[in-house]
Amino acid sequence: EVQLVESGGGVIHPGGSLRLSCVGSGFIFSNTAMNWVRQAPGKGLEWISSVSSSGGITYFADSVKGRFTISRDNSANTLYLQMTTLRAEDTGLYYCAKAMGAVAGWHPFDMWGQGTRVTVSS
Amino acid sequence: DVQLTQSPSSLSASVGDRVTITCQASQEINKYLNWYQQRPGKAPQLLIYDAANLQKGVPSRFSGSGYGSKFTFTINSLQPEDIATYYCQQYEILPLTFGGGTKVEIK
């Protein structure tokens, strides 16, 4: 069974940093591009980042570019999102999502984790 | 950025009704349009990819059509478990973007 499990969320002050993790199982993680999508409370979905299967190609939404870094450890089947200089508007539920192929930003998202909640508040 | 405009933003229909949602893209995106279902309190789930392809395991009452900039998502014979918000998403042009969502309720 394909499964994605996120962790690392929490309450953080503005300007702080947080690292989210997503462990994948039930599929060949190293052959699959991965993504992060967030959802602010009561709002819609916002794509924030994609990484290719090898980790060599990454893309970011303008709203997080320069503040967030996406990476992966294929030996541990784990995807990461390093978030710095956090703002109140970064508050939300962060989902990792598996792509249907290996190329970053070029496939539908065919499996999503349950999300990890990030709250940025003073 | 490609803006995706979904309509309506919400709808109420009876069990067994046919429900149609449209997604209008601000630029041509060929066939690269997906539809996701998000049930209350749950993660999104892919229903339709590349405008018209039914994802494995998804009931056949769901369907999609369209090309270019206008797309349609249909639920034939609405069921109680279809209560959810539905999102379109394009992946032709970065940044990837989602529509604002359509909340479907049972009358």
Residues B2-33: pLDDT tens digits? 999 999 999 999 999 999 999 999 999 999 99
With contact defined as beta carbons under 8 Å apart, do A6 and A117 qualify? no
pLDDT band of A8, cuts 50, 70, 90:
very high
Q: Which of B42, B49, B101 sits opposite A108 (nearest CB)?
A: B49
Check residue B7 and give its pLDDT: 98
Check residue A105 and give its pLDDT: 87
pLDDT, tens only, A52-72: 999 999 999 999 999 999 999
Do A61 and B95 count as a contact with CB atoms less than 8 A apart?
yes
What residues contact residue A8 under an 8 Å CB cut-off, 6+ apart? A18, A19, A20, A21, A116
Q: What does the pLDDT average to over B86-107? A: 97
Structure tokens at B6: 């979904």
Q: How many CB atoms lie within 10 A of CB A46?
A: 18
Return the higher-pLDDT residue of A105 and B52.
Answer: B52
Chain B residues touching residue A44 (CB < 8 angstroms): 85, 87, 98-101
Residue A90: DSSP 8-state: G
Alpha-helical (H) ranges within chain A are: none
Q: Closest residue of B to A93, CA-based?
A: B43
Closest approach of chain A CAs to the CA of B84, in angstroms? 12
With a pLDDT cut of 90, the percent of chain B lying above it is 100
Overall size of chain B counted in residues = 107
Q: Which of B34, B36, B91 sits opposite A105 (nearest CB)?
A: B91
Chain B residues touching residue A113 (CB < 8 angstroms): 43
Amino acid identity, residue B2?
A: V
Chain A residues touching residue B49 (CB < 8 angstroms): 100, 108, 110
pLDDT, tens only, A15-37: 999 999 999 999 999 999 999 99
pLDDT band of A82, cuts 50, 70, 90:
very high
